Each structure stands twice: as C-alpha cells, then as structure tokens.
Structure 1
Amino acid sequence: MVLSLVSLCAREVVSDHSSSPSWLSCLPRELYRPLLDAAFDHNRPLAVGELVQRWPERTLNVGGQKKHGHTPPNRLCIQALLLSVVRGLTDKRCALQLLDLSGLQCDEGLLEDSMGGWSLTVALCSTLMQAQDSRGCRRDGERERKRSLKTQRERDSIIKRDRGMESRKRGMEGEEGEFVSGDKKGEEGISLMRVCSQEESVPGVRRRMELQRRNEPQQTNCSSDSDQPEVVRVRADLFINARSWDRVCGALSLVGPLKLYCRYLRVEELPAPSVASLLQLLPREGLLGLDIRYASLGVSGLALLLPQLEPFLLLHTLKLHYCNLDLRRVQSGEQGTMQDMCRGLSALKQLRRLSLTALRLPGHLRLVLSSLPQPLEVLELPYLSLTPADMSYLSCSPHASSLRELDLSENRLDESAVPSLRRLFSQAETRLVQLSLCGCGLSDGLLGTLLPSLQRCRTLRTLRLALNPLTRSGLVSLAWTAVEISSLQLLLYPTPLEEYEPGLPPLPSSAQLLDWPLMEGSEVRKLTLSQLGEILEAKGRQHDLLMTSDLLKYSTDLTLEE
C-alpha cells in the first residue's frame, strides 16, 4: 500500500509527543482524522488521547478501520481513546456526539497486545461508570457551591433585618428623646410585636443550615438524572459471559453523559432468564444481530427469549450455537412451548440470517423455517442431523431462491439427498455466493452427481468441501469443475484418501479424517499439488483462485462481511 503525503506527514507529527502543544493549538479540523489514523497505526496512545479529547466532529468512527486493511489498535490506544472521551465531556473544544466502536475488537489471541471482544466490553462498561462517577462529583461540587451562596444570602438578609429593627426602635424614641403621640406609639408597638414574632419563628442560621442539609437529598432526588441531556452515544459490539454480565447490566442501567448502544450482541454460557434481563436493558434501536453460544436453553428457553426480540425492529441476524435444543426428545407437554417458539420466530420481521449449530432438529426444519415471515439470505445448519425430508423441504421452500450463503456441514448426505441438493442448487444458482458442505460424507460418486449443478452456480465465490472421503481422482474432477466457475475465488478441498496412513475404513467419517495421521515425507502430497497446479495453469486461474486443504490457515478475507 502506497502512503499518501498526508499520511506520511501525519506519521512524523504524532511520532514526537513533545511537539504536540505547538501543532494542537493551530490544527485545522480536516487533519484530525489522518493524525488519529497515524496515531493508531503507530501505537501513539498519548496522541490518540489528545486528539479525541478535542475531536471537532460530531461523529467518530473507529471500529470501521479493520475493514479497510488496518490492523486493530493495540490495547493502550483503545484505553487512551476511552479515557479521552470522558475528559472530552468537560472540554468545550470537543464536539463529539456519536462514538462508533463497532467491529473494533480483535479476534481473541490474533495479536498479542490487541483487545478482544470480552476485554473491550469490560473496558467500555468501566468507562461508562467512570463517566457517571465523575459526573456525580461535578454535580456534588455544584450543589456545594449553590448551598454556600444561599447561606451567604441568608446571612445578609438577617443582618439587614437586624439593622431595620434598630432603626425602628430609634424612631419610636424620637430624634431628641421626645415622646411620640399615643396613636402613633401604639401603631409602632403593634408593628414591633409583629416583627418580633416573625423573628422568633425563624430558626438560627446554624439550625437552618442543618435543616437545609437534611432536606437537600429529597430535593435533589425530585429532579432525576433522566432530565439531564445525553451527551455522547457510544455504539459497539458487546461480548458478554457470566463474568461480565453484572458489569454490563450496571452500565446499561446508568443514566449519564455516555449512553451505550449495541450493534451485535454475543453471549456465552448464560441461562435464558439472564439473557432476557439483558435484552430488556438494551436500547431498542440499533441492535442488528444476536449470537447465543454454549447455553442450555432448550425449547422453553427459546420460547422465553424469542418474544423479547420483537421490539428490536432492525434485528436481521440470529445465531444459536450449541444451545442444547434437541427436538428428538420433545415430550407431549412441550408441544405448546414449541408453538410459542415458532410464534416468536414469526415476529422477527427483518430476519435475514439464521445460524443453528448442533441443534438436533431431524424432521423439524419445516416447522422452524416456515415460521419466518421473510425468505432468508444466509442459512447455516451444521450438525443438525437433517433428514431427506428436511432437504426436500429446503429445496422447495421460499428460502431456496434467495440464499446467498448456505452451510450444511456435518449433515450426513446420501443418495436420497442428491435430487434435493440438485434442485436446491438450481434454485439458488443466480444468488448463491458461499457454500459449505464439509464433513457430509460425499464420496467420488456422490460429488460427481452434484458437480454439474455446482458448475451452473455462476455467482459462487467460496466453496468448502473439506473432510469428505474423496480420492485423488475425485479431487481432480472437483478441481476441473472449480476452474470453470469464473466467480470462484476459494476452494477448500479435502485431503485425498491416498495421503492418509493405512487403516482408514472405505468411507471414513469426518471425525476419523480429522484425527487420522497423514503420511509424511512421501511423494503423494507433491503429486496432488502438482496436478492441481497444472489444472490452474491450464485455465489461467493461478492468480485469482485459491485452492487449499488447510483448515486453519486458509484465507478468510474472501468470506462475506455482515
């Protein structure tokens, strides 16, 4: 990547922190963004803090940098960013109203000094609480100042009252000691008695101050914090588990100068009531996706949670991974609960992406998908124990022609599923972009019957077929089909059976293929790579089509972004 002149200059400017007072005083607003990018790219947390504290724009988008090829900011820069947002609340030069941190978190363990989703969520919630505490300190200081001014005014009024009484007494005695008339003296006496009775009814200054302090909390409680205007809206992706649930709920319950909004919510190992409580605290606008993992929800838990999602009108993604939902063991008393679950799905008007991992739903796919009000664009159904009836429904459903991404991995497919799959590919051939059939038990013969239908998918960019029992001959046929798909950019192919150590069964499962050792130091692997290279070169696809069998290190840049 060639850096522009502005980027090169910005890197030099932020590299020397001692010069920051000179350029910050005369910095035009157009240069704040390049300088902040340079500070993030070159790990200058002090420069990040000074720039954000004086941010001249109403919006600051930090999370989107990762989509444009930038590495995620390190931990110190993110902490400096959050602290400077709090300091900017009292800085008149700061015009920030919306801070967008969506997508800022780094994948756990990807970079050593980066901040993962859980750490970023905890740091962000701590910042909200810090802003609330600092706001409370400023409010207490303002109250004390007003109380002191009021006390001073009361003292001045008492002194003026005493002086007035002394002047009235001198007037009653006359200027030279002469007695006033009886009528006038009576009137002055009545007036003096009235003033004295009023003075006696007023407590002393110290007593009045004590009563005022005692009544002050009641008066301040009457004006709730909800009357205070919201200063900065913070939008982020939240990652919550049992350790951070209390902190996040506390931050969402605060009414302060920073208001937290969630774009994508991911929760792990939380029971259904805890997730429901969390959803009730989230602002209704802005939530686009919900990802629930490793939770024992069951049918009753889903029936509880799905109605809670109806107020989130923009929700388009729902992911349920390993949530202990097994419809093979549904008892007769749970049929009503299943109907509640389906009604909850029908209320999600904008749902376009549905991911169900390891939910045992054999024979119930129609029940789930027919409840949805709109056709899906993304459907992920790995480890669902799908039956031929499920595949038949999917190929004829309204979702088939609208699918852009489809994942049927780890569902055992046989000859009975082939007609449904060919019909499904025919329906989706003009829209399907990503297809995953990993670990489906596709042998040379089964895959050979599907290749003509796959070749007609002219928009396909990613095809994943790892952990299927293919020989080298079947892999070569797959490679010839792949190079004919002009849109294809990634083929994740299975390691051919010839490269495994002896002892594999004729049709091994995906678990066996994953655990079985490969032959090392042989010419078998070189022969496979040579044949694939010749196929790519013959069609001129060696630069725009990646073929790999590496499950861990293949390029993820080709996957579609949400």
Structure 2
Amino acid sequence: MVPSLVRLCAREVVGDHGSSPVWLSCVPRELYRPLLEAALEHCRPLAVGELVQRWPERTLTVGGRKKPGHCPPNRLCVQALLLAVVRGLTDRRCRLQVLDLCDLQTVNGRVEDSMGGWSLTVALCSTLLQAQAATSRGQRRDGERERKRGREVERERDDTVKRDRGVERENRDAEGGVQTEYGGDGGAQACAERVEVTVRGVRRRMELLRRSEALRQSPDVSGRSGGPACGAERDAVLVRVRTDLFVNSRSWERVRGALGLPGPLRLHCRYLRVEELPATSIRTLLGLLPPPGLLGLDVRYSSLGVAGLGLLLPHLAPFPHLHTLRLHYCNLDLHRAHAGQQEALQDMSRGLGLLTRLSRLSLTALRMPGHLRLLLSSLSQPLEVLEMPYLSLTPADLAYLSSSQHASSLRELDLSENRLVESSLPSLRRLLSQAKERLTQLSLCGCGLSDALLGALLPSLSCCRALRTLRVALNPLSREGVLMLARAAAGMASLQLLLYPSPLEEYTPGLPPTPCSSHLLDWPLTEDYRVRELTLLQIQEVLTLKGRAHDLLMTSDLLKYSTDLAVDD
C-alpha cells in the first residue's frame, strides 16, 4: 500500500522534536489525528504527549481493530499518552472527554516492547491515582487561597476598627464631654459606628465567598472550570476512558483502590478478564464498574466451585449489554455428589437466566455430566457461540442440545475433549442438521473419533453449508481416515481451514490400540520424513483433484492454529 502524502508529511513533522513548538502553535485541528498516528507508529513519545495534551476533539480512539500486520503502539508511547491525559485536565486547549483504548493491548505479548493487558491495566490505574492526586493538590491550593483571603478581610476589619477608635478618643479628648467609652451620646455613637464597621466586614466576606463560589461553578467554553477542581468538583468526571481490563491477584488491590477513588478520570470497562480471584473479589470489582459499558466477562483459574458461581452470576444482571461469559478452569467438578449441590446448581441456572442478552457462553473444564439441560434451559434467548471443552458431556446432554432452542442459532460450537461414542452420534447428527445453515466454526478435537465414527458423521458434516473452520485434531484416525476426511472437506465449498490429526501410521511403535488425546499429544512422531511426506502428497492430490489446492488450508500444526476464539464487539 502506497502511503498518502499526509502520512508522509506527518512522519517527517513528528520526527523532528526540536521544531514542535513551531508547528504545534499553528497546526489545524484536522491534522492532529494523522500526526498522532505517525507519532505512535514511529515511536515518538514526546510528540504523542504534546499532541494529546492539546487534543482539540472530544473523542480520541487509540485502540480498535487494526489491519493485519499492524503493530500496536510502543510501551513508551502508551505511557506518554496517559501522562498527557492527566496534564490535559488543566490545559484549556484540551477538549478531550472520551478516550477509547479498547484492543490496544497485545495478545500474549507477541510484539516486542508493546504493552500487554495486565501492564495496561496497571498503567491505567496509576493514571487514575495521579489524576486524583492532581485534583487534591489543586483543591488544597484553592483552600489555602480562600483562607488567605479570609485573613486579609479580618486584618482589614481590625485595622478599620482600631483607626475609628483612635479618632473617637481624639474627638472625646478635644471636646472633654465624654469620660467613658459607652457614656453619653458620644459613646452610643461610637458603639453604633463600630457595629456598622463589623457588619461591613461580614458583608465583604460573604461577598467574596459568593464570588469565589461562582467562579468555581462557572465552566469555560471547553466545559472545564477556570481553575483547579475543588469542593463538589472533585467528583466531576472530565474524561471517560473506555478500555479492556485484565485483573489478577497481583493487581487486584491496585485496581480496587483506583476504581474506588473519585476523580476527573473514570474507567468504563468493555471486556473484563480476571484470573486467580475468589468470587467475593470479583463481585466487589463488578460493583465498582459503570454498568452500561461491560460487554463480556472472562474468569480463569479461579477456585469458584458451584457455590462461587451461584454467588457471582446474579451480580452480572445489572449489566444490560453483557453478551459474553467465559468460565475457564473454575474448579467445578460434579462427578461426585455433595451436600447442597443441587441447590447451588439451581442458583447457577437462575443467575444465567438473568443475563437477558447473553449470546456467547464458554465453559472450559467445568465437569458437569448430565447437567446441561439444567444449566442452559433458563436462558431467555438462544446462544450463538457455545464452547464446552472438557465438560464430560453425556449422550443425554447432546440429546438435549440437539433439541433445544440453541441448536438452530449456533454459529460456533466447540465440543473438544468430550468423548463421543456410538450412542452419541444420532444426537450429534441431529444437532448438525439443525445448525447447518448458520454454523461457521466446529471443533471436535480429542473426541475419540475413529475411522468408523468419522465415516458415520461425515454426511452430516458435508451438509453444513456455512462451515468455514473444522478442527478434528487429536483423534485416532488412520491415514485412510485422514484421506476420507480430506475428500469430504474438499467437497464443502465454504470450508477454508481444516485442522486434521496426524495419522496413526506416523507415530512411533508402542502406541495403545485405542489412544486418547493425551496419548496422541505426548507420543513422539516417527523420524522418518518419508512417512509424513506420503500423507502430505496424498492430501495434496485430493485437493488438486477437487480444485481446492489454493483456497482450502489443511494442516496438522497445533501450535500455529489455536482453538481460542477472537473476541468480537
């Protein structure tokens, strides 16, 4: 792509920081955005800070979905941006009211010198604390000025009273008619004059207080007060920051402290990801977030159990736009019955029923055999994305799912690591028949599919007209079974990616007769490259014969193609 003239010029301008005082004084507001983009792209943190501190628009979006190959901003640039937001709170030239940092963080730190989700969350909380501290300092300065004004008024009043008393004594000595301060007509007149002076002092103080209060409450054209925040203004929100938060046990105290303090910055969380936190801490965190902005919650590696989930789920009801819920490895295992287990499951079901807009549900390693009906039947609307790896699903669970309201609306379905037996195939075929018009992603990794089971399932898979991604890795298929899968996949016009398992012939001797997914994952492959090349050549022949050699990607690489789904807006 050929860069535009504006981008080229912006890169040259921000590259010379010594000239920034010149172009900052005369650059039009329409060029601030391309200048900031150039400063972020070419790592110019000083230019980033100066532009954001004077930002002329109400909204600034730094994150957002970028084009493939686009690198996220450098860590120094992000830190300079956040510091500039704090400085802009007292800068009359800054009009910023909404800062959007969604999708700014990188995934798993894959880009060098970039800022991940945890680091960005900590940096944002530090920014909130700095803004609150700046507000407190301004409040103290303003209070000190008020106290100085009060002392000056007191001194002025005392001087006036002393001066009037001196004049009064001189008059009395000259006339010789008054011997005491309050005796006769002269004393009464002096007393009245002193009361009048005192009243004038009190009125002056009240006038000064009313004037200072009016100055504090009257905003300028930018919507900001003329001076530092004070009084009730310490609770006023000047900039709303929209972002994704990642909180774990190490950052929990900092995040809670930052969200609980009043100040000019306010965090609005779009997607919240928490790790290693108990249900009570997650509930507290949810209570500190503004309800309208939260779209998704991702809970991982937290020992919640059935009771913890029953406690947590009702607290998601106040978030009206929540459409994504992910629960990964939350220490829930129902293979053994416990006292109060059924009541806790009922609480979980009622909590899910309160989420009226839920469309994406991901449950990983919540071993709940035979309880899928109880869990999903309370949902008021059908799900579009359902992920259930390691859920120990039974044939009864699949039978319920195939006849439920969710079957015909599913776009993405993940049944990985749920062992499929022959009695499960009728329900799975009926489920695929219900979802064939909308299903775009299907994962059956590690489901124990043999050549015979796969052959019985392929006709139903071939009917899925919208299917784009099919994952069947870690299943015990022979080379003939893999080729049978390749022929069926090549006949599906919509399919773009097939993740297939390595054939049993490519493993070293000693593999169990009916290997499970853990065996196939850990067992070494043969070092004879000719065995692996034979499979690749036969797959390529199938794709070439079907005319799909260029638009269908078939691979057995588990490391490159992850089963994790991207978060959508």
TM > 0.5 between the two? yes
Tell me how far apart the structure 2 counterparts of residues 423 and 533 of structure 1 sit (CA, whole Å).
32
Q: Are the aligned partners of 1:489 and 1:558 in contact in 2 as well (CA < 8 Å)?
A: no
> Out of 476, 480, 487, which is 2:483 matched to?
476
Tell me how far apart the structure 1 counterparts of residues 162 and 566 of structure 2 sit (CA, whole Å).
84
The reply to whether residue 504 of structure 1 matches residue 511 of structure 2 is yes
Look up the SS of the partner of 2:30 in the other structure.
helix
Q: Which amino acid aligns with 2:450?
A: S
Map 1:325-474 → 2, pairs under 5 A? 325-474=332-481
Select between 244-253 and 323-332 the one with higher mean Cα deviation: 323-332
Give the Å deviation of 1:422: 0.8
The reply to whether residue 99 of structure 1 matches residue 99 of structure 2 is yes
- Which residue is equivalent to 2:9? 9
- Which residue is equivalent to 2:269? 262
Q: Which amino acid aligns with 2:406?
A: H
Tell me how far apart the structure 2 counterparts of residues 25 and 224 of structure 1 sit (CA, whole Å).
34
Q: Which amino acid aligns with 1:162?
A: K
Change (3 A) 1:381 1:233: same
Give the Å deviation of 1:178: 6.5
- Which residue is equivalent to 2:44? 44
Give the Å deviation of 1:224: 6.0
Tell me how far apart the structure 1 counterparts of residues 164 and 341 of structure 2 sit (CA, whole Å).
85
- Which residue is equivalent to 2:207? none
Give the Å deviation of 1:166: 2.3
Tell me how far apart the structure 2 counterparts of residues 14 and 234 of structure 1 sit (CA, whole Å).
25
Q: Are the aligned partners of 1:303 and 1:344 in contact in 2 as well (CA < 8 Å)?
A: yes
Give the Å deviation of 1:338: 2.1
> Out of 275, 291, 294, which is 1:287 matched to?
294
Q: Which amino acid aligns with 2:107?
A: D
Q: Percent identity?
A: 66
Give CA-to-partner distance per residue, 1:433-467, whole Å, 9 cap, x none.
Answer: 11111000111111111112111111111111111
> Out of 320, 326, 331, which is 1:324 matched to?
331
Give the Å deviation of 1:24: 1.5
Give the Å deviation of 1:482: 1.6
Change (3 A) 1:54 1:557: farther
> Out of 243, 264, 282, which is 1:236 matched to?
243
Q: Are the aligned partners of 2:178 and 2:184 in contact in 1 as well (CA < 8 Å)?
A: no
Tell me how far apart the structure 2 counterparts of residues 86 and 25 of structure 1 sit (CA, whole Å).
21
Tell me how far apart the structure 2 counterparts of residues 133 and 261 of structure 1 sit (CA, whole Å).
20
Give the Å deviation of 1:335: 2.3
Q: Are the aligned partners of 1:57 and 1:96 in contact in 2 as well (CA < 8 Å)?
A: yes
- Which residue is equivalent to 1:552? 559
Tell me how far apart the structure 2 counterparts of residues 306 and 226 of structure 1 sit (CA, whole Å).
35
Q: Which amino acid aligns with 1:244?
A: S
Q: Which amino acid aligns with 1:24?
A: L
Map 1:27-426 → 2, pairs under 5 A? 27-66=27-66, 69-174=69-174, 177=175, 179=177, 186-192=184-190, 225=232, 228-426=235-433
Tell me how far apart the structure 2 counterparts of residues 350 and 558 of structure 1 sit (CA, whole Å).
19
Q: Which amino acid aligns with 1:445?
A: A
Look up the SS of the partner of 1:48 in the other structure.
helix
Q: Which amino acid aligns with 1:189?
A: G
Give CA-to-partner distance per residue, 1:42-81, whole Å, 9 cap, x none.
Answer: 1111111111111111111111054665211121111111
Q: Which amino acid aligns with 2:511?
A: L
Q: Which amino acid aligns with 2:44?
A: R
Change (3 A) 1:331 1:515: same
Give the Å deviation of 1:301: 0.5
Give CA-to-partner distance per residue, 1:22-55, whole Å, 9 cap, x none.
Answer: 2211212222222222212211111111111111
- Which residue is equivalent to 2:526? 519
Tell me how far apart the structure 2 counterparts of residues 180 and 523 of structure 1 sit (CA, whole Å).
129
Change (3 A) 1:86 1:68: farther
Look up the SS of the partner of 1:358 in the other structure.
strand
Select between 350-359 and 477-486 the one with higher mean Cα deviation: 477-486
Q: Are the aligned partners of 2:157 and 2:197 in contact in 1 as well (CA < 8 Å)?
A: no
Select between 69-78 and 263-272 the one with higher mean Cα deviation: 69-78
Q: Which amino acid aligns with 1:12?
A: E
Q: Are the aligned partners of 1:465 and 1:494 in contact in 2 as well (CA < 8 Å)?
A: yes
Q: Are the aligned partners of 2:172 and 2:179 in contact in 1 as well (CA < 8 Å)?
A: no
Give the Å deviation of 1:400: 0.4
Look up the SS of the partner of 1:56 in the other structure.
coil
The reply to whether residue 24 of structure 1 matches residue 24 of structure 2 is yes
Tell me how far apart the structure 2 counterparts of residues 4 and 542 of structure 1 sit (CA, whole Å).
36
Q: Which amino acid aligns with 1:11?
A: R
Gaps of 5+ in 2: 199-229
Select between 332-341 and 395-404 the one with higher mean Cα deviation: 332-341
Give CA-to-partner distance per residue, 1:293-345, whole Å, 9 cap, x none.
Answer: 11111111111101111111111111111111122223243322222221111
Give the Å deviation of 1:225: 4.8
Gaps of 5+ in 1: 201-222
Tell me how far apart the structure 2 counterparts of residues 87 and 172 of structure 1 sit (CA, whole Å).
63
Q: Are the aligned partners of 2:313 and 2:351 in contact in 1 as well (CA < 8 Å)?
A: yes
Look up the SS of the partner of 1:494 in the other structure.
coil
Q: Are the aligned partners of 2:275 and 2:302 in contact in 1 as well (CA < 8 Å)?
A: yes
- Which residue is equivalent to 1:204? none
Give the Å deviation of 1:181: 13
Q: Are the aligned partners of 1:172 and 1:185 in contact in 2 as well (CA < 8 Å)?
A: no
Q: Are the aligned partners of 1:462 and 1:559 in contact in 2 as well (CA < 8 Å)?
A: no
Look up the SS of the partner of 1:115 in the other structure.
coil
Give the Å deviation of 1:147: 1.6
